[in-house]
Structure 1
Amino acid sequence: MNNKTTFFLTAFFLIGLVSFAQTKKWTLEECVFYAVENNISIQQSELDLQNAKIDKNSALGNFLPSLNAGANHSWNIGLNQNITTGLLENQTTQFSSVSLNSSIDIYNGLQNQNRLRRAKLSELASQYNLSKIQDDISLSVANAYLNILFNKENLKVQQAQLVNDEQQLTRSEELVKAGSIPRGDLLDVKATVALDKQKILAAENTLLISKLSLAQLLQLEDFKNFDIVEENLNAEQSATLLEKPQTIYGKALEHRIEIKVAKTNLEVAEKDVKIAKGTMQPSLTGFYSFSTRASYSDRIIGIDGGGNPIVAGPLPLFDQFSDNKGHNFGLQLNVPILNGFSARNNVAKSKVNYERTKNAYNQAELDLERNVYTAFTDANAALKTYEAAVSTLEAREEAFNYAKEKFAVGMMNAFDYNQAQLLYTNAQSDLIRAKYDYIFKEKVVELYFGIPILKKP
């Protein structure tokens, strides 16, 4: 195989890859799962969860004893007392010391236990927050996805209308030549064709903007080549809408993340009260320390017959560490008596925060009840609107077909024909809009009932 052939094969392969990348169409499942993996808000929530896990590890560490080792070596240069003569002399002396300290909380008002329980609850709350953001993003992606489907179908309606009007224009030109209709009707049909082209342009722009919205939600940069699979979704009544709203509310209380978050925050606030009360109780700490030292100075080992000190060099370093070692251990009791009311005020503040969190929990239940009833009512209203739109479209289609027949034989003028056509086109758009509005609102009710938008693979 020569180089020229290799070049053409490589170019053909690369062009094929580019074409595949540009023609890839995303399903709803792919959009939702991709958003969950790449959305910035979800990534931020995952970082919050990591922080909560770190805080839990810190709370576990409070049960362990503290252990610290230290070493020190110093030089004293200048005017110092000579230990052999007792006189002040300019000299350099060296000292080394080693220490080991440890302490452990024996009792501190159960603060460590309550801090650990609080940390576990905070981690759970972070997990709930992450799940809630994932649900919110999934719902937003589904809404944006359905919006694109609606704009695609609406564009097809406008394009089909243009084809029909162009055919009617050709037919009108023939009728004008035959003298069956006046030339003014032909001009009206031409104006209608021009208006159809404007509507198609507007529909294409709307579709592009809806694709941009979903691409940004997915954190995609190349939104111009972004497209979705044209799924044929049916607007059928969900079994969930056959349930009573109070039944849906009862299910929502069991599994909705916002209620779990509010309840967990209430439990965290309760632990904060216990932690604050613990600071008002006596605390008992056990401690232990070990130390030893060594000197590099000469030492006096005795007195000679003339009363003069007998001087010798320093003992070996490790012998001094062994001879000078010491231990210190015991218990320390701390009883808070008066500390500027800080402990008492912290307890009072934690109780106020608990009551505030309790109110937030009660409000979350009220909000959920209102949202469930609102979503249930909206979904049923959207279903009725869709059913009415179906009936309207059937009537408008029949009326338009009748007007088309009358216009074709010159029994209807262009204005009345255009009005019938406009009503038919609007009915098609209204049906598409009602269809996707109902599908989305139906999904919202199913979420409250515990049915996810998509099941994880």
Structure 2
Amino acid sequence: MKLHQFLIIALLTGLTATAQQKKWTLQECVAYALENNISVLQSELNVEQAEVDQFDAFGNFLPTLNANASNAWQSGLTQNITTGVLETQTTRNFSAGANVGVDIFRGLQNQRQYQRAKIAKLASDYNLEQMKNDIALNVANSYLQALLNKQNLKVIKAQNEVTQQQIQQTSDLVEGGVLPQGDLLEIQATNANELQQIVVAENQLKVSLISLAQLLLIKDYENFDVVDTDYEVSGAEILTNSAGQIVSSARENRFEIKIAEQNAELAKKDLQISRAAYYPTLSGFMSYNTRESDRNRVDQVVDPNDPSELVEIGFVDGTNQAVFTNSPNFIFNEIEPLPFIEQLWRNDGLAYGFQLNVPIFNGFAARNNVKRRKIALKNAEYQLEQTELDLESNVYQAYVDAQGALKSYEAALTALESQELAYQYATDRYDVGLTNAFDFSQSKLRYDNAKIEVNRSKYDYIFRLKVLELFFGVEPTSLKF
């Protein structure tokens, strides 16, 4: 039994270790963010809300049907319908009905609202895609920053290993009397400085990984890590297009323009809807009602004990002699109410017709609302124009930044090549005692900085290319890495 428990614990431990060792690729981070980021999820909810609003606007074309029923008891001092005497009694009354209404004409308001709902749905779709683009770019930037910090940490650690070897070599030379004690102290000072840089670089890497994990809504910061890949520069062919070509493609594909265009269309529909208040409205209606009560009925019958009576019906002209006739002698009896169903069909009724409302004066509310909508439309048109200008400016800026990043990367490679040769030359001279430790340390520092600058310029260049690709219309999940 203990062996089984041990095996289960070992298996679970192995699975946990495997889960903890997972390292994320950039494509996995982008895909995960597009499915789980809060901003993306909120945009998806906005799309669902727009679908509901569109269905709601379609419902305005349909008739309305409502039913009602009421069963109430009334207790207190009320008049007896048979005797006419006030009595303390309890009565019950039931009523039911149904109403149908339909809009025949509302100044085309229903049509305009449905058109507006479709435009709003399209705008929500564009907002969702724009949010995905922004999230993908943010994830790529954070991911590349983490990779840059990883590469820089590698450079510093690798150079520190060289420094450790130099300490041992210099120590042997000092003990042999070849080099002075100051050279050993200089190398040791360089080692201490590099160890401090390693701590700083490790902290920077940890912070960048935490920032990326937060962007992905991953709470296990301690075990979150990215694939240690040295990405090659890809997608540079985007620079074969001119800035004007990228601007044209951005105008056709970027969602900033599409969103601004849909907002302008929404403002136009709002103006048309507000103008509907100037027109009369015509609606049709039909209602059905019935009722039932538990109160006794009053029935009129001939008195069997005195079936007739003389009733004066007039006078004879000239003599004023009264004229009488025999008339049935009716009496009133209180009887039980009719059955429930019979009362319903006996007491039902139907009403139908049309209702016309003509706006005459409403305190300038309709006119002022139209003016507000005109202002909103003009503002939306200005916003569309400004969005086009901003997009063009952003594309040109991104194009120039990408070209500048390319030149910076090429210059960094050239500088690294030169610093590598200089460092190798300084190493050879130091090994034979032709240069002191200070000059050797400075050469090594310049070589280290050149490597770090190559890493920085490289990942900056990659990021600038991704920005241009998004402007050109590349899908976030299709970015070239």
Residue 116 (structure 1) aligned with residue 114 (structure 2): yes
Partner of residue 102, structure 1: 100
C-alpha distance in 1 between matches for 2:297 and 2:193: 112
Asked if 1 retains the 8 angstrom alpha-carbon contact of 2:132 and 2:476, the reply is no
Partner of residue 383, structure 1: 406
Cα offset, 1:269, TM superposition: 1.0
C-alpha distance in 2 between matches for 1:225 and 1:76: 73
C-alpha distance in 2 between matches for 1:183 and 1:264: 76
Asked if 2 retains the 8 angstrom alpha-carbon contact of 1:282 and 1:333, the reply is yes
Greater shift in the superposed pair: 305-314 or 182-191: 305-314
Cα offset, 1:131, TM superposition: 1.3
Asked if 1 retains the 8 angstrom alpha-carbon contact of 2:300 and 2:330, the reply is no
Asked if 1 retains the 8 angstrom alpha-carbon contact of 2:23 and 2:227, the reply is yes
Question: Normalised by the size of structure 2, how large is the TM-score?
Answer: 0.91
Which of 297, 305, 322 is matched with 2:345 structurally?
A: 322
Greater shift in the superposed pair: 289-298 or 129-138: 289-298
C-alpha distance in 1 between matches for 2:94 and 2:151: 86
Partner of residue 397, structure 2: 374
C-alpha distance in 2 between matches for 1:141 and 1:153: 18
Q: Which amino acid aligns with 2:136?
A: S
Greater shift in the superposed pair: 327-336 or 73-82: 73-82
Partner of residue 417, structure 1: 440
Counterparts in 2 of 1:237 and 1:272: CA distance versus 1, 3 Å: closer
Residue 417 of structure 1 aligns to a residue whose secondary structure is helix
Cα offset, 1:256, TM superposition: 0.5
Cα offset, 1:289, TM superposition: 0.4
Greater shift in the superposed pair: 115-124 or 362-371: 115-124
C-alpha distance in 1 between matches for 2:273 and 2:124: 21
Q: Which amino acid aligns with 1:390?
A: L
C-alpha distance in 1 between matches for 2:14 and 2:103: 69
Which of 348, 359, 363 is matched with 2:386 structurally?
A: 363
Q: Which amino acid aligns with 1:190?
A: Q
Residue 183 (structure 1) aligned with residue 167 (structure 2): no
Superposition pairs of residues 81-230 of structure 1, within 5 angstroms:
81-230=79-228
Residue 432 (structure 1) aligned with residue 432 (structure 2): no
Q: 5+ unaligned residues in a row in structure 1: which ranges?
A: none
Residue 478 of structure 2 aligns to a residue whose secondary structure is coil
Residue 97 of structure 1 aligns to a residue whose secondary structure is strand
Cα offset, 1:402, TM superposition: 0.4
C-alpha distance in 1 between matches for 2:120 and 2:274: 17
Q: 5+ unaligned residues in a row in structure 2: which ranges?
A: 308-328
C-alpha distance in 1 between matches for 2:298 and 2:17: 95
Cα offset, 1:67, TM superposition: 1.0
Cα offset, 1:372, TM superposition: 0.2
Cα offset, 1:303, TM superposition: 4.3
Q: Which amino acid aligns with 1:407?
A: Y
Partner of residue 260, structure 2: 262
Cα offset, 1:6, TM superposition: 1.0
Q: Percent identity?
A: 47
Aligned length: 454
Asked if 2 retains the 8 angstrom alpha-carbon contact of 1:389 and 1:430, the reply is yes
Cα offset, 1:169, TM superposition: 1.4
C-alpha distance in 2 between matches for 1:453 and 1:158: 33
Which of 55, 69, 72 is matched with 1:71 structurally?
A: 69
Asked if 2 retains the 8 angstrom alpha-carbon contact of 1:74 and 1:95, the reply is yes
Residues 281-312 of structure 1: CA deviation (Å, up to 9, x unaligned)? 11000000011122322323324334432443
Asked if 1 retains the 8 angstrom alpha-carbon contact of 2:283 and 2:354, the reply is yes
Partner of residue 444, structure 1: 467
Structure possessing the higher radius of gyration over alpha carbons: 2
Partner of residue 403, structure 1: 426
Question: Normalised by the size of structure 1, how large is the TM-score?
Answer: 0.96
C-alpha distance in 1 between matches for 2:242 and 2:331: 108
Residue 57 (structure 1) aligned with residue 80 (structure 2): no
Residues 232-278 of structure 1: CA deviation (Å, up to 9, x unaligned)? 31125611111111110000011101111111111111111111111
C-alpha distance in 2 between matches for 1:410 and 1:278: 95
Residue 278 of structure 2 aligns to a residue whose secondary structure is coil
Asked if 1 retains the 8 angstrom alpha-carbon contact of 2:102 and 2:283, the reply is yes
Residues 206-229 of structure 1: CA deviation (Å, up to 9, x unaligned)? 111111110111111111111111
Cα offset, 1:419, TM superposition: 1.1
Residue 97 of structure 2 aligns to a residue whose secondary structure is strand
C-alpha distance in 2 between matches for 1:272 and 1:318: 51
Which of 349, 360, 363 is matched with 1:337 structurally?
A: 360
Counterparts in 2 of 1:8 and 1:77: CA distance versus 1, 3 Å: closer
Residues 130-176 of structure 1: CA deviation (Å, up to 9, x unaligned)? 11111111111111111111111111110111111111112212222
